[in-house]
């Protein structure tokens, strides 16, 4: 089930909610208002950072991809 971020248009509370289906009614966890907007979420994965030298090791110098064009940077 996806996790979405919302912000209440009435009280301004930002919150996350696991939503089972697109028809699931979402209400503010603070004031219980149904006037919430879905925010743009950015998926991130944490891990060890790579040094600048390792980022320049790819064939085009933009990333660490094994072949040019694999990372979407031309």
Using one digit for the tens of pLDDT, what is the confidence trace for 9-54? 999 999 999 888 878 899 999 999 999 999 987 766 666 655 555 4
Alpha-carbon dihedral of residues 39, 50, 62, 56, nearest 10 degrees?
A: 170
Please count the CA atoms within 13 angstroms of the CA of 65 that sit on its side-chain side.
13
User: Is the model's pTM score more than 0.95?
Assistant: no
CATH topology of domain 1-40: Rubrerythrin, domain 2 (2.20.28)
Cα torsion through 17, 18, 22, 26, rounded to 10: -30
């Amino acid at each position: 089930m996806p996790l979405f971020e919302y912000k209440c248009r009435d009280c301004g509370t930002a919150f996350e909610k696991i939503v089972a289906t697109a028809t699931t009614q979402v209400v503010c966890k603070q004031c219980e208002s149904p006037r919430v907007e879905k925010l743009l979420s950015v998926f991130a994965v944490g891990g060890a950072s790579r040094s600048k030298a390792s980022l320049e090791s790819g064939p085009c110098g933009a990333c660490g991809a094994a072949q040019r064009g694999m990372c979407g940077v031309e």
